[in-house]
Structure 1
């Protein structure tokens, strides 16, 4: 893998703008506009709705029950005190003004034979093509002793909304000298660097508010994690003695948790009376995709790598975290990139236009401390039936402080551009 600077800024940051220029609809062959329904208003779904309505040749309906979207993919910075919660929160008014029909309900089921989405109130919305971006569901039984009922005591905060506020409130209540335990998830999961950026932001918040004697233990089922050396270098530099990562061969695995007492039991040690336990469990594709029969035995949705069309139903395209996207990580950047590919594929299929080669990109920035951001990037193509990384880049150890500051500015610039493209 190359150093992070070897992939051009334009290639990595300009995905949405570049794709918009390429997204010219083929010649319309009929008077009635085809109907495209998008389920899920997150990074993938909102981006797809925007790209499709921009073409001007299809009716676009977005089904999303939440009136406000909370950008969980930037939420660690709120935990760290670098941004406000308002900077994470957006409405769908901009998409509505652009011409997208917004249905503020949950999608209850998909009738693939009749090509209809059934809503929570029983109404049905017909589609010619369906773009499904349902995100993730959590496997509550993957952590012994934890449950849905316990998520207010041991929050996950992995899906935004109220959970994020609970985690933030609990973090603010941790005393100096208190213990935080983060239970990290197994692969694959949403945003591979995020648990470790979260630990960094928690440490920053604690240290900057006079609680530098607090400890953060990460109990991990994985023998390694994304940008591991960079995070560990940063923890040692900025938060010496505060953050400890427990590999499975050291912890001897997670045995159980007890929400009533704040206890986490591993094969190596029992952590009692933790001030905060953050459980990030195993994950799978959102329920609407699984109940529609679009997921395989892994719990995720297989897709055609050149278009993101479901391998189980060619009229449905699955994007974002729910999809099995080969070498691509489950990231907001990746979801937005997939949305552009899907919009072109949908238009080409509906209007018999020429297909263009699929090209994808993803970058994950992680803030370790103020003005100290690292990143991992990749460019991807469909090769021999799989989305494969063609070029990759990652930050290096001991980079100059000025470079790390620029990388955090890139992060901020990308975020502003991403949410502007999603919500207007």
Structure 2
């Protein structure tokens, strides 16, 4: 089934929010419109801004803070590396959101004063809020991969923030010498898009099979197992036999260092000369969450019933940055959580009705042309966390027609969700 925009948005309409706090009668006590500031214009933040603005019918003043004028989705960026999409097809502007009435500010949020309820921008401007929504995505843990930091990202790209990093990594792969080696340092849990590194390996293998078939792929992985492992390993054996070697923790995949100047990868003391090295470090919530004092060290704990911070009842945190329970860090999850947060915010500020929080997520991956697989679940929130209540996953040995249909479904989903996020 190819999921189109209307089907996706219709299915998403059932995802509603709850709040256990009594709704605020803001207008009666303060006069004028309540103000909401949303930090981060990705799948979580942009969706929240759109839905608060749309569903409040202009009763709430919504400001979206996002530094980039063109947003490149991380989801589907691996398909660009594999040659299945153009970089332009991943690019989205904020014109649609602005035309709907959201105040879009292209700047960096550099500080939050939770007592004064203000957000400071890099320009020096200050924004006041009654409710703050934070969806800043991920940053990297300092020192997670010895020898690598963000100053080395041009020599050893992470490509886990899409756009120029994706273009750079693909260019490096295409420039590899005949029979060269592509290496990946995979991240430890938890991280953005659990199947993402392994879909990327599939797409790199597809590209090399066409352009450099004697090349090798080496994965240094600190995890004993990974998302969709059986599906990926089946696909690699079928489509890219002999090309891919994964070294897990039993053989030193958790003891890795790199030298970007020498282009070497050292695994448990053994030095490997490589031609391209994709370093995906350990991750944490976007740094603005840490500056606001809303993390447990790496992630921002929230109550999944409203996506409200466990440290501040006036701040909602969602998407990759939050620690919420069972949901993976994905674009679909962020979009789903955004609708819960938007309804909770609207209920608190306008005394409108809210509903019990329900969520869904599906992660599709492409292994080879028309060989798509997926994993997903439905979720409900309780006092402790967002909990999985029903799940599904593609099976090994599926026929080609089903795998093709799964891939086509993912293409339809992409068109639907990006329309839902950006208008």
State the TM-score, normalizing by the size of structure 1: 0.93
Q: Is 2:267 the partner of 1:266?
A: yes
How far did residue 355 of structure 1 move?
Answer: 3.1
User: 2:406 — aligned with what?
Assistant: 407
User: 2:366 — aligned with what?
Assistant: 367
Aligned residues: 413
Query: Which of 176-185 and 354-363 deviates more?
Result: 354-363
| Residues 335-376 of structure 1 deviation map (CA, whole Å, 9 limit, x = unaligned) | 000000001111111123343110011110000000001111
User: 1:139 — aligned with what?
Assistant: 141
Question: Secondary structure in 1 aligned to 2:154?
Answer: coil
**Does structure 2 conserve the Cα–Cα contact (< 8 Å) formed by 1:16 and 1:340?**
no
Of residues 184, 195, 198, the one that matches 2:197 is 195
How far did residue 253 of structure 1 move?
Answer: 3.1
User: 2:47 — aligned with what?
Assistant: 47
User: 2:237 — aligned with what?
Assistant: 236
| Residues 129-186 of structure 1 deviation map (CA, whole Å, 9 limit, x = unaligned) | 1110011111241111112221110110111232112111101111231101100000
How far did residue 252 of structure 1 move?
Answer: 5.4
Question: Secondary structure in 2 aligned to 1:78?
Answer: helix
User: 1:69 — aligned with what?
Assistant: 71
Of residues 8, 14, 17, the one that matches 2:10 is 17
Quote the Cα distance in structure 2 between the aligned partners of 1:344 and 1:205.
43
How far did residue 229 of structure 1 move?
Answer: 0.5
User: 1:223 — aligned with what?
Assistant: 224
Q: Is 2:343 the partner of 1:344?
A: yes
How far did residue 118 of structure 1 move?
Answer: 0.9
How far did residue 93 of structure 1 move?
Answer: 0.5
Quote the Cα distance in structure 1 between the aligned partners of 2:142 and 2:299.
16
How far did residue 256 of structure 1 move?
Answer: 1.6
**Does structure 1 conserve the Cα–Cα contact (< 8 Å) formed by 2:17 and 2:358?**
no
How far did residue 15 of structure 1 move?
Answer: 5.9
User: 1:287 — aligned with what?
Assistant: 287
Name stretches of at least 5 consecutive residues in structure 2 with no aligned partner: none
**Does structure 2 conserve the Cα–Cα contact (< 8 Å) formed by 1:184 and 1:280?**
yes
**Does structure 2 conserve the Cα–Cα contact (< 8 Å) formed by 1:251 and 1:269?**
no
Quote the Cα distance in structure 1 between the aligned partners of 2:225 and 2:379.
23
Q: CA 1:219–1:21 in structure 2 vs 1: closer, same or farther (change >3 Å)?
A: closer
User: 1:97 — aligned with what?
Assistant: 99
Question: Secondary structure in 2 aligned to 1:72?
Answer: coil
**Does structure 1 conserve the Cα–Cα contact (< 8 Å) formed by 2:294 and 2:311?**
yes
Q: CA 1:22–1:260 in structure 2 vs 1: closer, same or farther (change >3 Å)?
A: closer
Quote the Cα distance in structure 2 between the aligned partners of 1:207 and 1:54.
47
User: 1:177 — aligned with what?
Assistant: 179
Quote the Cα distance in structure 2 between the aligned partners of 1:186 and 1:24.
31
User: 2:296 — aligned with what?
Assistant: 296
Quote the Cα distance in structure 1 between the aligned partners of 2:140 and 2:65.
21
Cα RMSD between the aligned structures? Answer: 2.2
- Relative contact order (alpha carbons < 8 A, sep ≥ 6): 1 or 2 greater? 2
**Does structure 2 conserve the Cα–Cα contact (< 8 Å) formed by 1:250 and 1:268?**
no
Question: Secondary structure in 2 aligned to 1:232?
Answer: helix
Query: Which of 337-346 and 144-153 deviates more?
Result: 144-153
Quote the Cα distance in structure 2 between the aligned partners of 1:369 and 1:192.
18
Question: Secondary structure in 2 aligned to 1:409?
Answer: helix
User: 1:87 — aligned with what?
Assistant: 89
Quote the Cα distance in structure 1 between the aligned partners of 2:266 and 2:43.
36
How far did residue 244 of structure 1 move?
Answer: 1.5
Quote the Cα distance in structure 2 between the aligned partners of 1:414 and 1:189.
22
Question: Secondary structure in 2 aligned to 1:141?
Answer: coil
Quote the Cα distance in structure 1 between the aligned partners of 2:51 and 2:272.
49
Question: Secondary structure in 2 aligned to 1:38?
Answer: strand
Question: Secondary structure in 1 aligned to 2:329?
Answer: coil
Q: CA 1:53–1:17 in structure 2 vs 1: closer, same or farther (change >3 Å)?
A: farther
Question: Secondary structure in 1 aligned to 2:46?
Answer: helix
Quote the Cα distance in structure 1 between the aligned partners of 2:171 and 2:309.
40
Quote the Cα distance in structure 2 between the aligned partners of 1:117 and 1:408.
41
Quote the Cα distance in structure 2 between the aligned partners of 1:89 and 1:385.
37
Name stretches of at least 5 consecutive residues in structure 1 with no aligned partner: none
Quote the Cα distance in structure 2 between the aligned partners of 1:40 and 1:156.
20
